[in-house]
């Protein structure tokens, strides 16, 4: 009987959410209020809310209550050499517009000796590219201030950076949001042999604070010529689900990205993108390689 009761309550709440009575972002009534409204016990009301949580319709927030989740979307995030990416922002096209938001700068990256988009010459004032305020930005992508620490490179990171194990690195962690919602959780590593003692040693400080990796490396004389990305489809960890406002076990795209100057790795990062919000698009040139 209790099983049938909680299913009845859950189904009616689904109907009310679908009808817009509880809009995305709205709080659900408390367990006690639901119990009174439906004439059931508090345990039945709690079971109904758990069912909605398991379905991904609502999400609990510690100390605040249970809220209706935003509807899943399927925007396309371009991962090629886009103008936005070179500035440290997200190139996203909303669902229904077809194709990727390519806006390509160059298939081979910035020209030799050129200042990358978002970079500044030494002594100039950084434009803040990557924080949602760059010229031409629609203000919809915002990069949080990185939290950086110095430590030893773990074995897998040392391998990706082609440095000895336990090499000193700067580890930075930050979030990029899109339209006010988490869009990408990022953890990056840079060898201190590359950035140590330079004005860009901390991604969130100095004259290039908030700028892209391409722009920061250009500032200290390194021209990034290519990047590699390895993508794995998996479920979010508990920490990732909390950070990205996902339900436990939600699908994510986990990207291992490394930036190179020629054959030398300058930075590597783990990027996590919510699978229910974005598709990833890559442009692959068709011309054969020289030689």
Report whether pLDDT(185) > 60.
yes
Nearest to 192 by CA among 225, 169, 221: 169
Span 215-244, mean pLDDT?
94
- What average pLDDT is seen over the chain? 81
Please spell the DSSP secondary structure of 63-108, one letter per residue: TTEEEEPPPP--EEEE-SSBHHHHTT--EEE-TTS-S----BS-TT
Whether the per-residue pLDDT at 230 is higher than 80: the answer is: yes
Confidence at 284, pLDDT banded by 50, 70, 90:
confident
* pLDDT bucket at 142, cuts 50 / 70 / 90: confident
Q: How confident is the model at residue 49 (pLDDT cuts 50, 70, 90)?
A: very high
Low-confidence winner among 36-40, 109-113, 257-261 (lowest mean pLDDT): 109-113
Q: Is the pLDDT of residue 66 over 50?
A: yes
In percent, the amount of the chain with pLDDT more than 90 equals 52
Lowest pLDDT segment from 83-92, 129-138, 204-213: 129-138
**What's the mean pLDDT in 132-161?**
78
How many Å from the N-terminal Cα to the C-terminal Cα in the chain?
74
């Amino acid at each position: 009987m209790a099983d049938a009761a909680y299913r009845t309550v859950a189904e009616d709440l689904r109907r009310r959410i679908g009808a817009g009575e509880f809009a995305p972002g709205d709080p659900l009534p408390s367990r006690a209020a639901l119990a009174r409204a439906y004439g059931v016990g508090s345990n039945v009301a709690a079971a109904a809310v758990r069912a909605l949580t398991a379905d991904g319709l609502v999400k609990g927030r510690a100390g605040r209550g249970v809220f209706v989740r935003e509807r899943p979307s399927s925007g396309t995030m371009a991962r090629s050499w886009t103008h936005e990416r070179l500035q440290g922002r997200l190139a996203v096209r909303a669902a229904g517009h077809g194709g990727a938001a390519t806006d390509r700068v160059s298939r081979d990256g910035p020209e030799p000796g050129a200042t990358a988009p978002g970079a500044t010459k030494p002594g100039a004032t950084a434009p803040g590219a990557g924080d949602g305020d760059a010229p031409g930005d629609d203000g919809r992508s915002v990069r949080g201030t990185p939290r950086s620490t110095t430590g030893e490179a773990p074995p897998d990171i040392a391998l990706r950076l082609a440095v000895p194990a336990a090499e000193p690195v700067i580890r930075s962690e930050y979030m990029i949001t899109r339209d006010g919602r988490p869009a990408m959780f990022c953890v990056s590593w840079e060898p201190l042999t590359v950035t140590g003692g330079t004005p860009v040693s901390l991604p969130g400080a100095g004259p290039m604070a908030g700028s892209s990796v391409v722009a920061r490396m250009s500032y200290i004389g390194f021209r990034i010529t290519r990047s590699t990305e390895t993508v794995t489809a998996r479920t979010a960890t508990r920490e990732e689900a909390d950070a990205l406002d996902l339900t436990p076990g939600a699908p994510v795209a986990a990207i291992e990205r490394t930036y190179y100057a020629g054959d030398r790795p300058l930075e590597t990062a783990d990027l996590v993108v919510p699978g229910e919000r974005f598709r990833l698009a890559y442009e692959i040139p068709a011309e054969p390689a020289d030689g």
